[in-house]
């Protein structure tokens, strides 16, 4: 959580940092701040609120000159969002200035020690403790900033991506990472620092991603020196060429990133299977799977670990893997798995699913699984992310940047990758007939076009949204492959509209939730032709007889549900295992329109952040 940006070079830092913070706002948006240095005075401005609030205030408060600068957009961990707790933070002398993404877990004991030594603190943050610890070390050891940062970080327990500069060293910024991402863009005699590459993509395509426990001293005119924080050894910089382009991280004419990303799903899904699904030859080619085929085929079971929407994709995968490849699957919340002493060994395959590749709980879960000898396969969207790097092998979803905080295209592309893997394993195990296998491949190829058709319901979904936008609660019901879609639909609605919503397996309704049903309760029921259709129709009848309002998600041409439901939204027909890729679309649109009609900030819902890099 939190986004950090820094610049040192020959340009004015302010516009670069401001624009960069706007691009990183998806990482946190409860407060923001910038410090600029022109070699004489440090100018610092920070405020509770969004980057736009900072912009409005900053230009009145300080002069915006300086070719060195750092900026921060916050998702509060220690200390409520307010001006004082916002970053950057000064050290007591006013010489050092820091920005930080992460958590210093032992900050209280460090703070007590520093207080004993005469340090005072303005904020409640762990970050202000860190900058004073660095200052203390620097004074005690009479050493340079880089060395002081290194010594201080060796006393710290927690996670961090930091950038810090010293008033007495106008040509250098020191950065370090452990558990939170940090990229350094390399331009001509200039350097960019950021949580991801989006803030500097128009300036350079060359970037270094710091590894955990690495730090770098970034010097104007002189370049970068990377070291291991623990043993001080030098690290040769590995410069990567970025594949990202500006278009991908802009709204492209859409009102919100979420809507853009919903509409990108046909092409995102296509990009996910492009080059992997060769339907003419009836082949699925995925290097990460082929190279580790034995591990998969000999696995006692597959354990899927993930959080939030990615966990829902994992639940869909459970149905697919068990149904097609006949491999037992368990799906675990990463946050529970990591702390419950799971029984796991070298005969297990763990699949970690994560859009950002930075989710702290998922990362910890795979480290635990690896330590017990399990083989870890990562399904991530962000290339080079921590989970992608920590996994033994993996497959990217290739969805392109997802910036809207509510996950949309990540979900459908994760299901696409997981379907490909399940089909490949099913073929290798002989648990699918060659004609079924071909049918699946052909149907998967048709999905992008069918998602496009499903998107055509947008205007109708909007009218449904208008009718139910003032409801206080929603229920979402589905069975089989579409039970996880019900969970996902409910999550989408609650996270962006703040309406309480629950997802249930349709048949579970009569074990409790049915008590909630009255004429004020809208119930979204996924009732596609394939998969327990008749049973879901019975569930709809049960709701109807209790006056609930039914919004049915049905297969095109459906008649039975149409007669019973208050509204039906049609999706094209496909094979059962692929229905989640279509039924999800109207649910995404429904939550989008309701949130918008209620005046909510769709792309930046309250209290949330895109990458949850803290526990």
Residues of this chain that bind ligand F6R (CB under 6 A): 307-310, 354-356, 359, 362, 406-407, 491, 495, 611-612
Closest distance of CB 329 from ligand F6R, Å: 18
Nearer to ligand F6R, 44 or 353 (CB): 353
Closest distance of CB 240 from ligand F6R, Å: 21
The burial class, CB within 10 Å (0-12 / 13-18 / 19+), for 430 is exposed
The strand pair at 329-333 and 301-306 is best described as: parallel
- 124-133 burial string, b = 16+ CB within 10 Å, else e? ebbbbbbbbb
Nearer to ligand F6R, 180 or 356 (CB): 356
Nearer to ligand F6R, 125 or 397 (CB): 397
- Which DSSP helix (H) or strand (E) runs through 5? strand 3-8
Nearer to ligand F6R, 383 or 575 (CB): 383
> Is 610 in the active site?
yes
Closest distance of CB 578 from ligand F6R, Å: 21
Nearer to ligand F6R, 561 or 602 (CB): 602
Closest distance of CB 211 from ligand F6R, Å: 20
Q: Which residue has the tokens 């095109």?
A: 556
Q: Which residue has the tokens 């030098």?
A: 234
d(CA 98, CA 88): 5
Nearer to ligand F6R, 215 or 388 (CB): 388
Residue of minimal CB distance from ligand F6R? 308
Closest CA relative to residue 303, chosen from 286, 291, 289, 315: 315
Nearer to ligand F6R, 421 or 611 (CB): 611
Q: Report the phi/psi class of residue 39: left, alpha or beta, with left for phi > 0 and alpha for psi in -120 to 50.
A: left
Closest distance of CB 200 from ligand F6R, Å: 22
d(CA 136, CA 316): 52
Nearer to ligand F6R, 359 or 539 (CB): 359
Closest CA relative to residue 18, chosen from 66, 80, 79: 66
> What is the full DSSP assignment across 144-169?
-HHHHHHHHHTT--EEEEEEEEETT-
Name, in order, each residue with C-beta under 8 angstroms of 22's C-beta and a sequence gap of 6 or more. 51, 52
d(CA 599, CA 602): 8
Cβ of 59: how many Cβ atoms within 10 Å?
13
| Active-site residue, selected from the candidate residues 2, 48, 169, 494 | 2
Nearer to ligand F6R, 151 or 614 (CB): 614
* Residue 499 phi, psi dihedral angles, 5° rounding: -85, 135
Query: Residue 473 forms beta bridges with which residues?
Result: 500
Cβ of 471: how many Cβ atoms within 10 Å?
17
| Active-site residue, selected from the candidate residues 43, 409, 492, 610 | 610
Q: From the CA atom positions of the chain, what is the Rg in Å? A: 25
* Residue 377 phi, psi dihedral angles, 5° rounding: -115, 120
Closest distance of CB 501 from ligand F6R, Å: 13
d(CA 20, CA 79): 24
d(CA 355, CA 268): 13
d(CA 301, CA 513): 33
d(CA 120, CA 128): 10
Closest distance of CB 359 from ligand F6R, Å: 3
> Is 380 in the active site?
no
Nearer to ligand F6R, 42 or 363 (CB): 363
Longest C-alpha distance within the chain, in Å? 81
- Which DSSP helix (H) or strand (E) runs through 376? strand 375-380
Closest distance of CB 604 from ligand F6R, Å: 12
> What is the token pair recorded at 94?
């006013």
Q: 51-61 and 13-24 are packed helices; what angle lies between their axes, rounded to 10 degrees?
A: 160
Query: Residue 208 forms beta bridges with which residues?
Result: 184
The strand pair at 277-278 and 500-505 is best described as: unpaired
* Residue 339 phi, psi dihedral angles, 5° rounding: -110, 5
Closest distance of CB 18 from ligand F6R, Å: 26
Closest distance of CB 249 from ligand F6R, Å: 17
Closest distance of CB 365 from ligand F6R, Å: 11
Catalytic residues: 2, 610
């Amino acid at each position: 959580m939190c986004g950090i940006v820094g610049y040192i070079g020959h340009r004015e830092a302010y516009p670069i940092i401001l624009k960069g913070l706007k691009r990183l706002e998806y990482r946190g948006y409860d407060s923001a701040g910038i410090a600029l240095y022109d070699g004489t005075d440090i100018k610092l401005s920070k405020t509770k609120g969004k980057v736009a609030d900072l912009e409005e205030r900053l230009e009145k408060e300080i002069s915006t000159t300086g070719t060195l600068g750092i900026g921060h957009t916050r998702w509060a961990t220690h200390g409520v969002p307010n001006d004082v707790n916002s970053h950057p933070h000064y050290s007591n002398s006013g010489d050092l200035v820091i920005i930080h993404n992460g958590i210093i877990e032992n900050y209280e004991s460090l703070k007590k020690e520093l207080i004993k030594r005469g340090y005072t603190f303005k904020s409640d943050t762990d970050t202000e403790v860190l900058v004073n610890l660095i200052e203390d070390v620097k004074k005690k050891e009479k050493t340079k900033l880089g060395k002081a940062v290194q010594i201080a970080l060796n006393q710290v327990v927690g996670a961090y991506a930091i950038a810090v500069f010293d008033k007495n060293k106008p040509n250098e910024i020191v950065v370090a990472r452990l558990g939170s991402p940090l990229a350094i863009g390399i331009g001509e005699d200039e350097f960019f620092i950021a949580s991801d590459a989006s803030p500097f993509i128009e300036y350079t395509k060359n970037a270094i991603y710091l590894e955990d426990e690495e730090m770098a001293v970034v010097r104007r005119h002189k370049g970068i020196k990377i070291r291991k924080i623990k043993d001080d050894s030098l690290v040769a910089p590995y410069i990567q060429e970025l594949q990202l382009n500006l278009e991908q991280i802009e709204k492209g004419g859409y009102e919100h990133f979420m809507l853009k990303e919903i509409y990108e799903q046909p092409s995102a899904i296509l990009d996910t299977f492009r080059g992997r699904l060769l339907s003419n030859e009836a082949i699925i080619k995925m290097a990460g799977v082929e190279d580790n085929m034995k591990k998969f085929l000999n696995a006692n079971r597959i354990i899927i670990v993930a959080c939030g929407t990615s966990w829902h994709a994992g639940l869909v995968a459970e149905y697919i893997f068990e149904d097609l490849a006949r491999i037992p699957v368990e799906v675990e919340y990463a946050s529970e798995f990591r702390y419950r002493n799971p029984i796991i060994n070298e005969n297990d395959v763990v699949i970690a699913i994560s859009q950002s590749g930075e989710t702290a709980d998922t990362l910890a879960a795979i480290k635990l699984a690896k330590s017990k000898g399990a083989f870890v396969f990562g399904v991530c969207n962000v290339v080079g992310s921590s989970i992608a790097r920590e996994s033994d092998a993996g497959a990217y979803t290739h969805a392109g940047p997802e910036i809207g905080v509510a996950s949309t295209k990540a979900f459908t592309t994760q299901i696409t990758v997981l379907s490909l893997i399940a089909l490949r394993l099913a073929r290798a195990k002989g648990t699918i007939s060659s004609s079924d296998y071909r049918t699946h491949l052909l149907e998967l190829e048709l999905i992008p076009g069918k998602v496009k058709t499903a998107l055509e319901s947008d205007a109708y979904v909007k009218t449904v949204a208008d009718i139910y936008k003032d409801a206080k609660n929603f229920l979402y019901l589905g069975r089989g492959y579409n039970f996880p879609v019900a969970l996902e639909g409910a999550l989408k609605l609650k996270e962006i509209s703040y309406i309480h919503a629950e997802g249930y397996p349709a048949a579970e309704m009569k074990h409790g939730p049915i008590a909630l049903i009255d004429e004020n309760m809208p119930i979204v029921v996924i009732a596609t032709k394939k998969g327990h259709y008749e049973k879901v129709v019975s569930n709809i009848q049960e709701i109807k007889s209790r006056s609930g309002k039914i919004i049915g998600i049905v297969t095109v041409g459906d008649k039975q549900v149409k007669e019973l439901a208050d509204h039906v939204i049609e999706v094209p027909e496909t094979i059962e295992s692929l229905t989640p890729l279509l039924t999800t679309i109207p649910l995404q649109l429904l939550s989008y329109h309701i949130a918008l009609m209620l005046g909510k900030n769709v792309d930046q819902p309250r209290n949330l952040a895109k990458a949850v890099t803290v526990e």
